[in-house]
């Protein structure tokens, strides 16, 4: 069995066009075979970090590697799947659930993207796994919040990627669906997948995340959930310490480190 | 009597030509318009069509096919728009507005200063009834390339319109998709130049797709409806322009717009009437 390296984020800084500093000197590791929760306040850079990892935006400094490979190469090898936030999707687009899940297979198809029997089988299996087979002919806008999430989860499953990134998968989702998604993530982890999930649903973190990364414009702490996911650290992450400039970061690290 | 209305014009060679060229252009535009409306690139279509003017003038002055000049300037404008947008803090609509009017105005200046026998009126409003053999060939070539490219890359282009991030995540080359779509946009504009003219090309690039979008939730059906409405408008438009003696492009676009309005009101699911009915149902 080959040793997988998970995700390595090395000293990333991102400043947006409007000169807003979104992320600075962020470094962290996502360990293979774990579920890692990315936790931080709104505007704390969670989505920016995700987009940097996926190569959707070019950081001003720093590097990301996935399984030891640069992002683009890892993506060409279908190593990474990404489940977008609900508000990143055009729900009026004229595609069916089946079409969307089939898009997870495009990377395996020839240039004309003609699905093979295997592609069809995997789409069916993925849909069945999230309990969405009955809705496969629906236009995506005709789904409930939870069904929408499950449809995109099925797309990620169909892609058969070892690493999965989920951006806020529990927003607009009922408790039952949230539990179903968590069960699925646990199964995937036990099958050797690496999962990075951003959420501000703090209550459920300790029930399924093996590790936690705390983020507020930079990585404040990361490690095993029971060690890092403490009340003091959370107060630090969501609280009012100075957050701009290196001083703020050092100060926070010191405080967190001392605990 | 009604039959006469349709058959009488067919005794003229120019009418037969105008009919089938317009029909062909209608199909090409309708296919692309589905992607353009879904991607939200309508303004980009407007930009490309205006930006071809200097290309047409230069092409005539140099004695090369008009399609080559038009294509180069149309595509060039989109690249310029992309570059300015990347490197300034301006929003896209402002960039498009600045670039295409610049190209267009430059073309107008050129057309009055470079001696040539082109009729500016024909560039602006089209002249399919007087289309020359050479122009037909150029229209056909540009249109066929467009159709073949879209046919071969249709799934990737649709994915690019729907979810470019996913396309990136599975390792596809989104830059290539972006330029492919711009390329076929420029080619389609060239195709429609003789029929609709620069000012109205954008209607042919947007309206059929917009109409179809109101009528369908599946891309395949949207494509079929788009082609259907476009074809109908183009053929009837040529007839109307013959019988009423008005500009062909204008007739076609008026028909396209009427069909759009009809769809907006009567569409079974997204039409105004069905929304009204739905609201009533809920308020009871």
| Residue A152 to chain B, least CA–CA distance (Å) | 10
**Tell me, what's the ipTM?**
0.91
| Domain end residue (candidates: A144, A160, A176) | A160
Q: At which residue do the structure tokens 């690039």 appear?
A: B205
Strand A211-215 to strand A69-70: parallel, antiparallel, or no bridges (unpaired)?
A: unpaired
CB pair distance less than 8 Å for B156 and A94: no
Residue from B163, B214, B215 whose CB has the most chain A CBs within 10 Å, to mutate: B163
CA distance B46 to B52: 11
pLDDT in tens, B199-224: 899 999 999 999 999 999 999 999 99
Q: Is A135 found in the same domain as A171?
A: no
Q: Is A247 found in the same domain as A152?
A: no
Predicted local distance difference test score (pLDDT) of residue A244:
44
Beta-bridged to residue A12, according to DSSP, are A26
pLDDT confidence tier of residue A3, bands split at 50, 70 and 90: low
Q: Is A139 found in the same domain as A98?
A: yes
Q: Which residues of B touch A94 (CB under 8 A)?
A: 38, 213, 216-219, 221-222
Residues of chain A with a CB closer than 8 angstroms to some CB in chain B: 17-18, 54-56, 72, 75-78, 80-82, 84, 88-90, 93-96, 99, 103-104, 106-107, 111-113, 139, 141-142, 155, 159
Predicted local distance difference test score (pLDDT) of residue A145:
92
Residue B198 contacts residue B50 (beta carbons within 8 Å)? yes
In a domain, A42, yes or no: yes
Q: Is A31 found in the same domain as A145?
A: no
pLDDT in tens, A193-252: 999 999 878 888 999 999 999 999 999 999 999 999 998 899 888 885 544 444 445 555
What would the CATH number be for the domain defined by B2-283?
A: 1.10.3470.10
CB pair distance less than 8 Å for A103 and B152: no
Beta-bridged to residue A212, according to DSSP, are A37, A223
Q: Is A258 found in the same domain as A229?
A: yes
For residue A55, CA distances in Å to A26, A66, A80, B109, B198 come to 15, 11, 11, 44, 38
In a domain, A84, yes or no: no
pLDDT in tens, B255-274: 999 999 999 999 998 999 99
| Domain end residue (candidates: A160, A185, A200) | A160
- Burial-class residue B272 by CB neighbours within 10 Å (0-12, 13-18, 19+): exposed
What average pLDDT score do residues B14-24 get? 95
Residue A58 contacts residue B168 (beta carbons within 8 Å)? no
What range defines the domain where residue A4 resides?
Answer: 1-79+161-259
Nearest CA in chain B to A142: B217
CA distance B19 to B15: 6
In a domain, A202, yes or no: yes
Q: Is A101 found in the same domain as A63?
A: no
CA distance A45 to B77: 35
- Of how many residues is chain B composed? 284
Residue from B154, B165, B171 whose CB has the most chain A CBs within 10 Å, to mutate: B171
Predicted local distance difference test score (pLDDT) of residue A4:
63
Q: Is A178 found in the same domain as A145?
A: no
Q: Is A122 found in the same domain as A4?
A: no
CA distance B49 to A22: 39
Q: Is A177 found in the same domain as A67?
A: yes
Tell me how crowded residue B200 is: count the other CB atoms within 10 A of its CB: 24
CB pair distance less than 8 Å for A88 and B162: no
| Residue A52 to chain B, least CA–CA distance (Å) | 12
In a domain, A201, yes or no: yes
Q: Is A218 found in the same domain as A95?
A: no
| Residue B177 to chain A, least CA–CA distance (Å) | 12
Containing A26, the helix (H) or strand (E) segment is: strand A21-30
- Ranges A178-182, A223-227, A244-248, B102-106: which has the least confidence: A244-248
In a domain, A85, yes or no: no
What average pLDDT score do residues B155-173 get? 96
Predicted local distance difference test score (pLDDT) of residue B122:
84
Could you tell me the CATH number of the domain that includes residue A213?
3.40.50.300
Residue B168 contacts residue B174 (beta carbons within 8 Å)? yes
Strand A163-167 to strand A35-39: parallel, antiparallel, or no bridges (unpaired)?
A: unpaired
Q: Which residues of A touch B216 (CB under 8 A)?
A: 94
What average pLDDT score do residues A72-94 get? 94
Q: What is the DSSP letter of A115?
A: P
| Residue A39 to chain B, least CA–CA distance (Å) | 22
| Domain end residue (candidates: A113, A136, A160) | A160
Q: Is A248 found in the same domain as A149?
A: no
Q: Which of B24, B31, B22 is nearest to B223 (CA)?
A: B31
CA distance A160 to B26: 42
CB pair distance less than 8 Å for A94 and B172: no
pLDDT in tens, A124-146: 999 999 999 999 999 999 999 99
Spatial CB neighbours of B280, under 8 Å, sequence gap ≥ 6: none
Q: Which of B25, B31, B37 is nearest to B206 (CA)?
A: B37
CB–CB contacts below 8 A, A to B = 71
Q: Which residues of A touch B218 (CB under 8 A)?
A: 94-96, 139
In a domain, A189, yes or no: yes
For residue A90, CA distances in Å to A26, A117, B41, B274 come to 31, 29, 15, 23
Domains held by chain A: number: 2
Q: Is A140 found in the same domain as A217?
A: no
Q: What is the DSSP letter of B118?
A: -
């Amino acid at each position: 069995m080959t040793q997988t390296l998970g995700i390595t984020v090395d000293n990333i800084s991102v400043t947006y066009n409007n000169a807003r500093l979104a992320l600075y000197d962020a470094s962290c590791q996502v360990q293979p075979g774990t579920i890692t929760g990315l936790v931080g306040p709104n505007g704390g850079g969670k989505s920016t970090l995700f987009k940097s990892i996926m190569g959707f935006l070019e950081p001003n400094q720093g590097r990301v590697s996935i399984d030891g490979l640069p992002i683009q190469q890892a993506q060409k090898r279908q190593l990474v799947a990404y489940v977008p936030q609900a508000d990143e999707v055009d729900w009026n687009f004229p595609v069916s659930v089946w079409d969307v899940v089939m898009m997870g297979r495009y990377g395996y198809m020839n240039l004309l993207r003609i699905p093979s029997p295997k592609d069809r089988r995997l789409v069916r299996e993925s849909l069945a796994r999230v309990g969405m087979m009955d809705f496969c002919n629906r236009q995506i806008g005709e789904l409930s919040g939870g069904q929408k999430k499950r449809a995109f989860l099925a797309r990620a499953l169909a892609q058969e990627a070892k690493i999965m990134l989920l951006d806020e998968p529990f927003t607009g989702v009922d408790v039952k669906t949230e539990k179903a998604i968590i069960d699925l993530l646990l199964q995937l982890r036990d099958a050797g997948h690496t999962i990075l999930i951003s959420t501000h649903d703090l209550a459920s973190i300790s029930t399924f995340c093996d590790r936690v990364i705390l983020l507020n414009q930079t990585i404040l702490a990361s490690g095993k959930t029971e060690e890092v996911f403490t009340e003091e650290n959370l107060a630090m992450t969501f609280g009012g310490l100075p957050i701009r400039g290196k001083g703020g970061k050092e100060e926070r690290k010191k405080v967190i480190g001392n605990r | 009597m009604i039959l006469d209305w349709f058959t009488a014009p067919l005794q003229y060679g120019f009418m037969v030509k105008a009919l089938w060229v317009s029909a062909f252009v209608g199909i090409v535009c309708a296919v692309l318009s589905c992607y353009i409306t879904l991607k939200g690139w309508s303004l980009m279509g407007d930009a490309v069509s205006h930006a071809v003017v200097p290309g047409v003038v230069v092409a005539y002055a140099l004695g090369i096919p008009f399609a080559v000049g038009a294509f180069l300037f149309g595509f060039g404008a989109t690249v310029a728009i992309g570059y300015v947008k990347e490197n300034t803090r301006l929003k896209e609509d402002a960039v498009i507005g600045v670039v295409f009017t610049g190209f267009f105005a430059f073309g107008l200046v050129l057309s009055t200063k470079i001696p040539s026998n082109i009729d500016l009126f024909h560039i602006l409003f089209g002249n399919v009834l007087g289309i020359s053999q050479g122009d037909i060939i150029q229209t056909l070539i540009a249109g066929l390339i467009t159709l073949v490219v879209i046919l071969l890359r249709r799934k990737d282009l649709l994915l690019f319109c729907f979810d470019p991030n996913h396309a990136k995540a599975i390792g596809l080359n989104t830059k290539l998709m972006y330029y492919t779509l711009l390329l076929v946009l420029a080619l389609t504009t060239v195709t429609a130049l003789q029929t609709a003219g620069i000012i109205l090309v954008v209607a042919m690039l947007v309206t059929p797709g917009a109409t179809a979008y109101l009528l369908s939730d599946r891309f395949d059906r949207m494509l079929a409806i788009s082609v259907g409405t476009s074809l109908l408008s183009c053929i009837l438009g040529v007839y109307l322009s013959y019988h009423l003696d008005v500009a062909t492009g204008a007739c076609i676009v008026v028909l396209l717009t009427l069909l759009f309005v009809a769809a907006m009101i009567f569409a079974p699911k997204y039409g105004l009437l069905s929304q009204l009915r739905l609201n009533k149902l809920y308020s009871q």
